Amino acid sequence: MMCIKFTTTALATAALAIAITGCGKGAAGDGSSTVKITAADRTAAHEIFTQRCAVCHGQFGRGDGTGAAALAVKPRNYSDAAWQKSVTDADVERTIVLGGAGVGKSALMAPNPDLADKPGVVAALREKVRSFVE
């Protein structure tokens, strides 16, 4: 019974993530997001990044947060231009919502299922991740 409940929850979360990212196709068909981001979304994204993400990814997204030292798999360095070019906006947004395990990466990156119904906040978090490139 627990397996069925988990599977149902995982499928529902995945379906919401796909709805958020529009199956990975933006207006240009390149995986970019077309969600309108409000000032409130950006404020919420900043707070979420500070509270949930910066512990591992660091304040400036370099993967050097205080919690990173204890992790066997080091957090993504968002300032890495090569990595930034290698992923679509939809990839970033799916990872934010589903977590590492949800996209075939490290399970150490926690999912954020509470954001599945907040596409503007997810898009603002993606925008923040993109802002770290050097």
Closest C-alpha among 43, 6, 131 to residue 51: 43
Rg (the chain; Cα; Å)? 15
26, 89 contact by CB (below 8 A)? yes
Q: What residue spans define the domains of the chain? A: 2-131
Quick one: DSSP state of residue 63?
A: S
Residue 6 burial (CB < 10 Å; 0-12/13-18/19+)? exposed
Task: Name the class of domain 2-131.
Answer: mainly alpha
Question: In a structure prediction context, what are the per-residue pLDDT tens digits for the chain, which is 134 residues long?
Answer: 444 444 444 444 444 444 444 444 343 344 556 899 999 999 999 999 999 999 999 999 999 999 999 999 999 999 999 999 999 999 999 999 999 999 999 999 999 999 999 999 999 999 999 999 98
CB atoms closer than 10 angstroms to residue 109: 22
